[in-house]
Amino acid sequence: MSVTDYLSWGGSMQVRKQEKIDLYRLMVRIRAFEEQSFISFNQGLTYGVLHLYIGEEAIAAGCMYDLRKEDYITSTHRGHGHLIAKGADMGRMFAELLGKETGYCRGRGGSMHIADMTIGILGANGIVGAGVPISVGAAFALRYKGLDHVVLCFFGDATINTGAFHEAVNLASTWKLPVVFVCENNLYGISVSIKNACALRSLADRSAGYAIPGVCVDGNDVLAVRKACIEATARARKGEGPTLLECQTYRWGGHFTADDGKYRPDEEVRHWKEERDPIGNLARDMLGSGEIDQQEIDVIHREVKEEVEKAFRYAQESNPADVDGMLRGVYYESPTRTRNSKGEDLP
Amino acid sequence: MRVMSYREAVIEALREEMTRDGNVFLMGEDVGRMGGVFQATAGLWETFGPSRVFDTPISEVAIVGAALGAALVGLRPVAEIMFVDFTGVAMDQIANQVAKFHFMTGGQAIVPLVIRTQGGVGFGDAAQHSQSLEAWHTHIPGLKVVMPSTPSDAKGLLKTSIRDDNPIIFIEHKLLYQTEGPIPEGDYLVPIGKADIKKEGKDVTIITWSKMVLDSLEAASLLEEEGIHAEVVDLRTLNPLDLDTIIFSVKKTGRAVIVHEACKTGGFGAEIAALIVEKAFDYLDAPIQRIAGIDTPIPYAAPLYRAVIPNPDKIAQAVRGLL
Ligand SMILES: Cc1ncc(C[n+]2csc(CCOP(=O)(O)OP(=O)(O)O)c2C)c(N)n1
Ligand SMILES: [Mg+2]
């Protein structure tokens, strides 16, 4: 089903079986990547800390399944899932986490700074809120160039309380820029419950202050996320401006790999892990409807396991980051050009 | 004497000052129930409760600006910015508001405000969580900049900072939190603007602060084995600066090495070098050396970030080159 079909049907969700299977596989790939990352952290193979996306896979998968390669995203400290869903190479991602020269950032950036400019990933980010204005600038450039691509801007619930968020969303709304603000509401910013950081009951209500649509979906239901994101990106492509899309979700682990997350009630954690697992629930629904059988599910998991193992092996076998070349890389060195007397570049 | 970690010393200073003065309160991200991401406020929420210890939203501008407003109206806030890197987000409030309010109001307003933060290279937190940005803050008249290296200095200086009637940027170092040292009994204070000679020596003066004091002391003990007696001056506060102690030491040794983790260009070491040249040029037997971070963002992988910042070997090597 194409996006136009979907919209012309008034948004009724006739999702093809293969699409569901694709979405399932994408979520499984993200989780498997994160599980291997966590093992690597525990083995001391990575540096710093990692912010894992386990439990939130449906948002990245649902939002990015229908994106074009030419569309852009900005990501966050919790970025691995976004990168994989946008098409990043797992081998180069692992290589970055392991500090290898073949890593996306040549071992210079690490988990919080992975980018792939060739497929529109304008970077994970270590500064909360910083990606929001950057996404708006990218959307501005797309409009300036007359293109109908869009930008998806990912950020957490706690990020909506930064000044950067407010200034950027206001700009995007006033200029009707093609950007979708995807709020991953996992209920906490580190240890602080969103209830203690913001008086709104639904974060999507923030949209009223910017006169843009605000939509709230179950962020652990990949089909619901996908539907909402298709609508928001379609608006953006048509020049109708930004949408604030709140996806309610939960991170299974602590804020980062060195945090046990003990400030959260056990029952809350159990509820989300056992009853609202985005992957488990989709499998259950598809098994129930007969769209897939257990054997097919097992094949997906086996294939993903092999893919992750291969990617990880690539990273392990790669050379460490090159210390000698480090200073090159602070500034871009423009290739030398020959110019004529009018200052024009010669071929 | 008791032995305590730097982290515990920070907590004890906060606890004592909060007990002593009901106008002292804490605000910042995760400082409450969690006790801070570095656990440097652990236990205070339990003791003082949510009416003295406030978890804020992720809003650095509001943290610093609201702390300023509260200070103007008679409270003594201790605001935490989780990483010194994030002072960038709050820089208008810090540089244009906090630092200047007293002066701009012709002395009417007083700003008894401490901004606690931490910086430096840890174990791979990469470019936006590892910087040493003290030079930004020393470049703003009206702020005091405090950077203790030991638990006892951390406690004494934090208590003094909280009692000071001027705004203070109090910069801890993420690798110092676990370090331990003796702590004097009782209610002691360490004066702001007074350096401390952490090791005496006659051959060369090493001027440094924060975690680089530890690296410099290690270098000094390597050099001691070679018969080189280095004096290690821990500045403890960069602004106000204890120039007398620096100049006295340099006049004695005739050689100065300045060590800081921050990158070299525009670093505070340049200021010290210039002051030594102004005040003690005739006493110098060798050019002043600056051992500093190289001018790159801090990389992620350990072999890379280790190459960027000074360490005891690099410091010792520089000293040998002077003699
Ligand atoms: C400007 C800034 N302030 C504080 C931090 C420290 N920090 C990193 S992640 C985080 C919480 C972010 O919460 P949220 O936006 O909800 O994203 P989540 O981690 O839940 O995915 C904080 C406070 C930071 N990186 N940048
Ligand atoms: Mg969150």
Question: Residues A132-144: what's their mean pLDDT?
Answer: 98
Q: Which among B153, B183, B213 is the end of a domain?
A: B183
Examine the domain organization and report whether B168 and B211 are in the same domain.
no
Examine the domain organization and report whether B169 and B287 are in the same domain.
no
Q: Residue B214's domain is classified under what CATH number? A: 3.40.50.920
Examine the domain organization and report whether B50 and B163 are in the same domain.
yes
**Helix (H/G/I), strand (E/B), else coil: A276:** coil
Under an 8 A CB cutoff, do B34 and A263 touch? yes
- The string of pLDDT tens digits covering residues A248-304 is 999 999 999 999 999 999 999 999 999 999 999 999 999 999 999 999 999 999 999
Gap between the Cα atoms of A112 and A92, Å rounded: 14
Examine the domain organization and report whether B11 and B99 are in the same domain.
yes
| pLDDT on residue A223 | 97
Alpha-carbon distance A303 to nearest alpha carbon in chain B (angstroms): 30
Residues of chain B contacting residue A330, judged by C-beta atoms under 8 Å apart: 295-297
Examine the domain organization and report whether B133 and B156 are in the same domain.
yes
Q: What is the pTM of this model?
A: 0.95
B34, B86, B125 member nearest A191 (Cβ): B34
Q: Which among B151, B183, B215 is the end of a domain?
A: B183
- The string of pLDDT tens digits covering residues A60-113 is 999 999 999 999 999 999 999 999 999 999 999 999 999 999 999 999 999 999
- Number of structural domains in chain B: 2
Q: Is the pLDDT of residue A8 over 50?
A: no
Assess if residue B191 is contained within a domain. no
A-side interface with B, Cβ within 8 Å? 46-49, 96, 99-100, 105, 107-113, 125-129, 158-159, 161-164, 189-192, 196-198, 263, 320-321, 323, 326-327, 329-330
Assess if residue A150 is contained within a domain. yes
Determine the structural domain holding residue A233 and report its residue range: 3-9+16-318
Examine the domain organization and report whether B164 and B209 are in the same domain.
no
**Helix (H/G/I), strand (E/B), else coil: A101:** coil
Assess if residue A64 is contained within a domain. yes
Examine the domain organization and report whether B147 and B256 are in the same domain.
no
| pLDDT on residue A12 | 53
Assess if residue B51 is contained within a domain. yes
Q: Which among B162, B183, B204 is the end of a domain?
A: B183
Assess if residue A121 is contained within a domain. yes
pLDDT band at A9 (very low <50, low <70, confident <90, very high): very low
- Cα dihedral B206→B212→B215→B219 (10° resolution): -10
Examine the domain organization and report whether B260 and B317 are in the same domain.
yes
Assess if residue A219 is contained within a domain. yes
Residues 117-136 of B with CB under 8 A from A: 122-129
Assess if residue A28 is contained within a domain. yes
Does residue A334 come out as left (phi exceeding 0), alpha (psi in the -120 to 50 range) or beta? Answer: beta
Q: Is the pLDDT of residue A327 over 90?
A: no
Token pair for residue A240?
Answer: 């109708």
CB atoms near residue A14 (< 10 Å): 9
Assess if residue B188 is contained within a domain. no
Q: Residue A192's domain is classified under what CATH number? A: 3.40.50.970
Distance A47 CA to ligand 1 centre (A): 19
Assess if residue A328 is contained within a domain. no
| pLDDT on residue A13 | 55
Going across the sheet that includes A72-74, the strands are A72-74, A151-156, A179-185, A243-248, A214-218
Q: Please write down the HEC assignment for all residues of B234-285.
A: ECCEEECCCHHHHHHHHHHHCCEEEEEEEECCCCHHHHHHHHHHHHHHHHCC
Q: Is the pLDDT of residue A10 over 80?
A: no
Give how far Cα A278 sits from Cα of A61, A254, B198, Å.
Answer: 10, 18, 57
| pLDDT on residue A337 | 72
Ligand 1 binding pocket includes B29 (Cβ within 6 Å): yes
Residue indicated by tokens 């000074």: B310
pLDDT band at A336 (very low <50, low <70, confident <90, very high): confident
Give how far Cα A167 sits from Cα of A124, A134, A156, A164, B190, Å.
Answer: 20, 11, 17, 5, 42
Q: Is the pLDDT of residue A31 over 70?
A: yes
Examine the domain organization and report whether B18 and B83 are in the same domain.
yes
Examine the domain organization and report whether B237 and B178 are in the same domain.
no
- The string of pLDDT tens digits covering residues A207-224 is 999 999 999 999 999 999
Nearest C-alpha neighbor of A38 from the set A220, A334, A252, A291: A252
Which residues are bridge partners to B199 per DSSP?
A: B232
Q: Is the pLDDT of residue A7 over 90?
A: no
Examine the domain organization and report whether B93 and B146 are in the same domain.
yes
Q: Residue B18's domain is classified under what CATH number? A: 3.40.50.970
Gap between the Cα atoms of B186 and B172, Å rounded: 22
Determine the structural domain holding residue B292 and report its residue range: 196-322
Examine the domain organization and report whether B18 and B165 are in the same domain.
yes
Residue B86 near residue B80, CB atoms below 8 Å: no
- Number of structural domains in chain A: 1
| Residue stretches of chain B with pLDDT short of 70 | none
- Quick one: angle between helices A17-42 and A222-237, nearest 10? 100
Does residue A131 come out as left (phi exceeding 0), alpha (psi in the -120 to 50 range) or beta? Answer: alpha
